[in-house]
Structure 1
Amino acid sequence: MVESVVIVVPARMASSRLYGKVMLPVLGKSLLARMIERLGMIQHQAEIVIATTESPDDDVIVKEAESLNIPYYRGSIVNLMDRQYQAAKLFNAEVVVKIPADCPLIDPRIIDKALEHFFSDKFDYVSNLQPATYPDGNDVEVMTMACLKKAWQNAGRPYDLEHTSPFIYENPLIFNIGNVTWETGLDYSMSHRFGIDHPEDYYFIERVFKELYPVCHRFSCQDIINLLKLKPHIYDINAQYNHVNWYNKHLSELKPVLAV
């Protein structure tokens, strides 16, 4: 029996460094629309749901979801754990895939690889973040609804609620945890940044889309790497932030992780 897979995309306008980043334009569409387009390219069957907040600022996210014909859920402004859980529950998910809206260059092939690994065994949770090897901005987390529910019931630290998954991957004795690494054997997680959090990230992403999208809509992570080798000045656009991510801010709080 095929399990119901729901991709939950947390998205909101508020951002301490770049307000409204998910609605910035690229080739005539919003970054959110471009990301949804890429999510629709995966080989696995899945429903995509945008999880936004009840803030009036996020009315524009709702309008964008409606224009894209993508279902949405509106929930807590600060508790992303609850927002993700309620969205997954509303759409009867059995398997939940979390892809942050600040990953507009996400490679659909990486999502498929994570799903294939997840379904290869009786995993509760699979990601490509423990340890991370892909360029930052290719974040994929796959979990059973039962796993997400247990985390929702038991997690309580502020960054658990903000980032959803630390409670899960810090408890390998409770959850069966798996990890997917980049098949190249390389680790570009701290040297290449494909996500968006700063204006320079936007300029980088916009340039990548302009270079690659007209050639192939379904361009890959490797295509981006090849572009940056050919045109290193594009790499330099946001290189100053390559080592910056939320995980580093909480190193003193995070527990050791065991994943297979």
Structure 2
Amino acid sequence: MVRTGAIIQVRSGSERLPGKALLLLPFGSGPALLAHVVDRAQQASAIEQVIIATTTQASDDVIAQFCSDNGIACFRGDAEDVLNRFAAAAAIYKLNIAVRLTGDNPFIMPETIDAAVQQHLQAGVDYTITEGLPLGTNIEVISFAALQKARTAATAHSDREHVTPYIRRESMFKTQEVPIASDIKKLRLTVDYPTDYALASLLYSNLYKPGHLFGFPEIAQLLQQYPWLAAINEGNTQRKAFANEQEELEEAKRILKLGGFDKTLQKLEK
């Protein structure tokens, strides 16, 4: 029998929004942001267990305490070697399939998780990622065998501080993208900056009710009513873990083109 679990990577440290995982959502009245991530993951029918993977640093004792207070499985590992932390958590909890989530994405949808896991199992691949959804709501699914191979073989620091770049890059792994259409694809639904938290709080204050998981249709309807909501955090940029140098180069070209830096772009292309 295939055992599938969700592993939520989370730590207290954040340069732009310290302690964001335990901020109340909505502001001042709701459960912790991390509690929403856990709740949404637990509602996916494909998920048998939710595990929080945090670090052994003293600053993350509050995360471990949160897990203890709420009866959530917790694994603590190296702060920098996230690949090893993630793979070790999957091994200890005997997962065959791991869904990778992060503690700053409170808008993940259970139906997206279920669709991604189903497509992963049907295709018999090592790695699956959805694409086409708002930032912070796409889902990664990784087979345990692939995690173990990457854990053993990856040596670059950039591959160890992130979980999936090595798997996405190396030809030994079978990967797939699962496109999902969305009317709000351009919306930023991750919490990395104060303005991200402001948008999340406004959305949750209007849509959240205990016991009810709102979805993309409700968000889209609210945006139709208040289109200015999308402008709250649209200027924020996202750090990205590139699978290889070529991918990073293409992203640099795209940004230069958008900014009108034609001369710099021409030099880069040469």
Give the TM-score normalised by structure 2: 0.85
Structure 1 residue 250: Cα displacement:
4.3
Distance (whole Å) between structure 1 residues aligned to residue 105 and residue 144 of structure 2: 23
Distance (whole Å) between structure 2 residues aligned to residue 166 and residue 45 of structure 1: 24
User: Where do residues 124-143 of structure 1 align in structure 2 (5 Å cutoff)?
Assistant: 124-128=126-130, 132-143=131-142
Distance (whole Å) between structure 1 residues aligned to residue 137 and residue 52 of structure 2: 18
Structure 1 residue 228: Cα displacement:
1.5
User: Is the 1:170–1:254 contact (alpha carbons within 8 Å) kept by the matching residues of 2?
Assistant: no
List alignment gaps of at least 5 residues for structure 1.
none
SS at match of 2:45: coil
Distance (whole Å) between structure 1 residues aligned to residue 31 and residue 208 of structure 2: 13
Map Cα deviations across residues 102-137 of structure 1 (whole Å, 9 max, x no partner): 111111111111011011121111112xxx311001
Distance (whole Å) between structure 1 residues aligned to residue 121 and residue 65 of structure 2: 34
SS at match of 1:120: helix
Structure 1 residue 221: Cα displacement:
2.2
Map Cα deviations across residues 180-234 of structure 1 (whole Å, 9 max, x no partner): 11135x682xx21000110000111111111111397211123212221221122
Deviates more, 1:63-72 or 1:212-221: 212-221
Partner of 2:190: 195
User: Where do residues 199-210 of structure 1 align in structure 2 (5 Å cutoff)?
Assistant: 199-210=194-205
In 2 relative to 1, CA 162–221 (structure 1 residues): closer, same or farther, beyond 3 Å? farther
Percent identical residues:
28
Map Cα deviations across residues 116-173 of structure 1 (whole Å, 9 max, x no partner): 1011121111112xxx3110011311111100011111112222112210111112x3
Partner of 1:56: 58
Distance (whole Å) between structure 2 residues aligned to residue 193 and residue 95 of structure 1: 27
Structure 1 residue 251: Cα displacement:
7.9
In 2 relative to 1, CA 124–252 (structure 1 residues): closer, same or farther, beyond 3 Å? closer
1:182 aligns with 2:180: yes
User: Is the 1:133–1:187 contact (alpha carbons within 8 Å) kept by the matching residues of 2?
Assistant: no
SS at match of 1:72: strand
Partner of 1:162: 161
1:230 aligns with 2:225: yes
In 2 relative to 1, CA 80–251 (structure 1 residues): closer, same or farther, beyond 3 Å? closer
Distance (whole Å) between structure 2 residues aligned to residue 145 and residue 254 of structure 1: 27
Distance (whole Å) between structure 2 residues aligned to residue 192 and residue 251 of structure 1: 24
In 2 relative to 1, CA 119–211 (structure 1 residues): closer, same or farther, beyond 3 Å? same
User: Is the 1:24–1:30 contact (alpha carbons within 8 Å) kept by the matching residues of 2?
Assistant: yes
Number of residue equivalences: 245
Partner of 1:253: 245
Structure 1 runs (4+) greater than 4 angstroms displaced: 249-252
User: Is the 1:109–1:220 contact (alpha carbons within 8 Å) kept by the matching residues of 2?
Assistant: no
User: Where do residues 209-224 of structure 1 align in structure 2 (5 Å cutoff)?
Assistant: 209-214=204-209, 217-224=212-219
Larger radius of gyration: 2
Higher helix proportion (structure 1 or 2): 2
Partner of 1:113: 115
Structure 1 residue 93: Cα displacement:
0.9
